[in-house]
Structure 1
Amino acid sequence: MTRRFDAVVIGAGQAGPAMAGRFAGAGKSVAVVERERVGGTCVNVGCTPTKTLVASAYAAHLARRAADYGVSAGPVGVDFAAVRARMLAIVGDKRAGLESWLAGMPTCALIRGHARFVAPHAVEVGGETLEAEQIFINVGARAAIPDFPGLDRVRVLTNTSLLDLDALPRHLVVVGGSYIGLEFAQVFRRLGAEVTVIEKAPRLVAREDPDVSEAIRAILEAEGIAVRCDAECIRFAPQGTDVEVGVDCRGGAPTVVGSHVLLAVGRKPNTDDLGLDAAGVAVDGRGFIVVDDALRTSVPHIFALGDCNGRGAFTHTAYNDYEIVAANLFDGATRKVTDRIPAYALYVDPPLGRVGLSEADAKARGHVVRVGKRPMTRVARAIEKGETQGFIKVVVDRDSDAILGAAILGVGGDEAIHGVIEAMAAGRTATDYTRVVAIHPTVSELVPTVFGALDQPC
């Protein structure tokens, strides 16, 4: 059986349903094919469940600190089953909302199953062929599983399977000291588990400047999380019901034994079982679909959106991919993915909000930079909230006064960074930013001060 549509969307993550909505809104027929759960990574195993867990973990952490605020909270306990039930309820509500929205589009068909290309204009799903003039691939990514020695002898968790645990780990060993790993590390420590983080690089979140990495490590270690960097030969072996992880660091014990191990060492695109060869769609050496600035693949009527194209690894970049493609197709625009300013957050507590270039990256690109930096101990709002860890840092080109990037590691950092994002998007200079009158008392109010104090001691 063959059915024809104006468009086929493979994957119902962040970009897919929105693209379907745009076609349906224009009165065009569209099929959305989803082999697992509507909502993709973000709704089901990414942002929604993890940030729900972050909120529960923060509540436990704050309750333990109640005396710091003159409040008597008594003994603090964590009901892990209730924490998980809250997470699942929020995830379920979000997924159901998306499913209901798709079902309400009269020209949209939600088809369950695994889509594989059989021709440039056709995919096969469960024995049925779907043909379309345009096809959009939004299949996301999954946890990468490196071939570590001994991995086949033990049970390890990924960011997906970790969410299926119905009991709190006794000792969680996190292999990977970057965004996913560190968020889970702090969450499970605050919920009551012993936690060790193992990182092969000399420092955590190595893409950030050293001062940011060091501050994040200090925050985590202050909460009792053990951090082992310079892990030269990571390997695994069973030890009864536990797992022994070889570290071989320059200092400390050569192994760490945990009840559970989380692998958080990167992501792999879900492109290896789509039959891309049958459509002539090119991928790079890591399996990411090659796209141009308009997110077209090597086959002009096929587009790749979201994590599978290697041009961004976040929910907001996936949705922006949709915005770019939709504007170009429906509005006559000429938007490009390279116009996007990189911005993201790390949701440890306090969070890190980041935009643009780090200091190291700016220098590597040939900029002569000016840097402004102030500790959160200078922020009235942070003092009043009793949360003064971290700092605000901005990077400016010396010659043009252009804002190159910023990092806000501190309470509200994931929100306060948006002022800098918007200034950069509008092409405003550092001097322009010093003239902003911000609301007191907020974290954002110190940002103009930092721009006005470039190259001055903290």
Structure 2
Amino acid sequence: MSSFARESLVSHAPEDGYEDERLANVRPPGWRNPEPAARYDLVILGGGTAGLTAAAEARERGASVALIEPRLLGGTCLNTGCVPSKALIHSARICAHLRDASRYGTADVDAVQVDFAAVMERMRAIRARISRGDAASRLSGMGTDVFFGPARFTAADSLIVAGTVLRFDKALIATGAQPLIPAIPGLAECGFLTSDTVFDQTTLPDRILVIGGGPLGCEMAQALCRFGARTTIVQNWPLFLPKEERDAAQVLSGAFARDGLEVRLNTRVVDIRVEGDRRIAELLSDDDRSTLEFDAILTGTGRSPRVEGLDLELAGIEYDGHRGVHVDDCLRTSNPRVYAAGDVCLVHRFNDTARASARLAVANALDGANERLSELVIPWCTYTDPEIAHVGMYVRHAREKGIGVRTFTVPMHTVDRAITDGNDAGFVKIHVRDGTAEILGATIVARHAGEMISEITLAMVAKLGLDKLSQVIHPYPTQSEAIRMAADAFSRSQRGPAVTSELRD
């Protein structure tokens, strides 16, 4: 049985008014599942971002909808992902500002006193407030039949939830993903935190070991370090953020060093042991062994799709534990009645892709449309400081496909607003197809990269060339002027070799 089929409501967060409000919204005590319809136009398994988006889209079409959630509405994003992590990251950024106050003409702050319990209380208040939009009562009032409980397929067109059989014309699997736990001897006996449990904490450990140098590990490691924990990232690859461009990761590496965050690359945790009050990790880097003492471990090695225990075989749905539910480009499974969306089937496991894929799947399932996943332009962002945002192709991928590329790069230290704000680490880098103005992709490393990338994403969706962005008037001074500067450089390059540019491609 998988976690989706057997998970019950589990929360170790402090019991307070904020938690009471959140749980009253996303898992109301005493909730009674409704009497099911004889047959639903759409049954949705999973009440996270993809499932909630699909329910709204289906209701707008006048479809009869049942939504099944075994744990908490809002899924990972609301409860253990985007919302709580960004609340913590913002608080951590304030702490970093205070420690750096003298740079801005303010008296030095000798020692920033972090009230970690108050930080976490603020996070819980934010989470409770945002949970109102995902409330079961709200969904029910808008016409969705909400069922809580474990679920599994019983046939190609039916499933059972908490003893009740639901029949459907179409179904959508949106069961999401769960933390991937590394197989390290002694880890379970020592105890550890994951992205699902770290937000239940109220005390900050003195020394934290973060296993994994991907986006999740980097975001949380930097935040915890800024709160005052001595934090070490151990990454078994020779680089962290391995999917990003190397100069982007290099900028972040400098930021980590300034924060006092230690990163050990090409290093594996091979054993964990407890000796009295001491917790010790044995590390292996090439042939060199060393030890590291810690007070808490956070695993950040990725997430795996929730697919087991759903009896997908009974519905004729192909899947595996790594890729999740197998879908075609229209998000249809091997059972033509059943579609999938979100983390359970996508390579890019982001909130925005979950939402976009749910809309696509509902249009195809209920409208008979033929919308394709491959046609989506998908941006993403790692919310470190500075942020790293990307959309479209990397140069290495374009070259693998035999596509010629020109790249226009603007360092943030040449952007007036970045200079005035003292946030001039990073760059804007935009790739175009050689000989054309077509934007193939972009990477932005900047304090507000996640906001800035949307302008380039819009241009790509609207098929506007980089020359068109040169015509966009940007308010001065803003960090997004870097995009205009890159576009200006492209336009100058089109006017011939007599025109020189400060930028190199």
Aligned to 1:21: 56
SS of aligned partner of 1:17: helix
Aligned to 1:388: 424
Give the letter aligned to residue 356 of structure 1: G
- The alpha-carbon distance between structure 1 residues 130 and 388, as it changes in their structure 2 partners (threshold 3 A), is same
Alignment partner of 1:101 is 2:108: no
- Name which of 329, 341, 360 aligns with 1:324: 360
1:69-100 deviation digits (Å, cap 9, x = unpaired): 22237442111111111111211222233114
- Name which of 235, 238, 242 aligns with 1:202: 238
Give the letter aligned to residue 31 of structure 1: A
Cα displacement (A) at 1:250: 5.3
Aligned residues: 457
SS of aligned partner of 2:486: helix
Cα displacement (A) at 1:263: 1.0
Aligned to 2:128: 92
Cα displacement (A) at 1:262: 1.0
Moved more, 330-339 or 3-12: 330-339
Under a length normalisation based on structure 1, what TM-score does the superposition of the two structures give? 0.94
Q: Is the 8 A contact 1:144 1:267 kept in 2?
A: yes
Aligned to 2:97: 62
Give the letter aligned to residue 146 of structure 2: L
SS of aligned partner of 2:285: coil
Aligned to 2:290: 254
Q: Is the 8 A contact 1:3 1:129 kept in 2?
A: no
Aligned to 1:31: 66
Cα displacement (A) at 1:430: 2.6
Q: Is the 8 A contact 2:412 2:482 kept in 1?
A: no
Q: Is the 8 A contact 1:241 1:259 kept in 2?
A: no
Give the letter aligned to residue 393 of structure 2: L
Distance (Å, rounded) in 2 between the aligned partners of 1:280 and 1:65? 58
Distance (Å, rounded) in 2 between the aligned partners of 1:244 and 1:293? 47
Q: Is the 8 A contact 1:291 1:303 kept in 2?
A: yes
Distance (Å, rounded) in 1 between the aligned partners of 2:96 and 2:321? 43
Aligned to 1:50: 85
SS of aligned partner of 1:254: strand
Distance (Å, rounded) in 1 between the aligned partners of 2:226 and 2:287? 26
SS of aligned partner of 1:310: coil
- Name which of 432, 439, 445 aligns with 1:403: 439
Cα displacement (A) at 1:357: 1.5
Give the letter aligned to residue 54 of structure 2: M
- The alpha-carbon distance between structure 1 residues 251 and 165, as it changes in their structure 2 partners (threshold 3 A), is farther
Distance (Å, rounded) in 2 between the aligned partners of 1:399 and 1:73? 53
Aligned to 1:307: 343
Q: Is the 8 A contact 2:305 2:323 kept in 1?
A: yes
Distance (Å, rounded) in 2 between the aligned partners of 1:116 and 1:331? 26
Moved more, 333-342 or 175-184: 333-342
- The alpha-carbon distance between structure 1 residues 434 and 253, as it changes in their structure 2 partners (threshold 3 A), is farther
Gaps of 5+ in 1: none
Distance (Å, rounded) in 1 between the aligned partners of 2:261 and 2:241? 15
Cα displacement (A) at 1:252: 8.3
Q: Is the 8 A contact 2:233 2:263 kept in 1?
A: yes
Distance (Å, rounded) in 2 between the aligned partners of 1:256 and 1:360? 36
SS of aligned partner of 1:53: helix
Cα displacement (A) at 1:443: 1.1
Distance (Å, rounded) in 2 between the aligned partners of 1:160 and 1:209? 28
SS of aligned partner of 2:284: coil
Distance (Å, rounded) in 2 between the aligned partners of 1:210 and 1:18? 35
RMSD in angstroms over aligned alpha carbons? Answer: 2.1
- The alpha-carbon distance between structure 1 residues 7 and 411, as it changes in their structure 2 partners (threshold 3 A), is same
Distance (Å, rounded) in 2 between the aligned partners of 1:172 and 1:31? 43
Give the letter aligned to residue 53 of structure 1: L
Aligned to 1:415: 451
Distance (Å, rounded) in 1 between the aligned partners of 2:464 and 2:101? 42
SS of aligned partner of 1:248: strand
Distance (Å, rounded) in 2 between the aligned partners of 1:36 and 1:392? 41
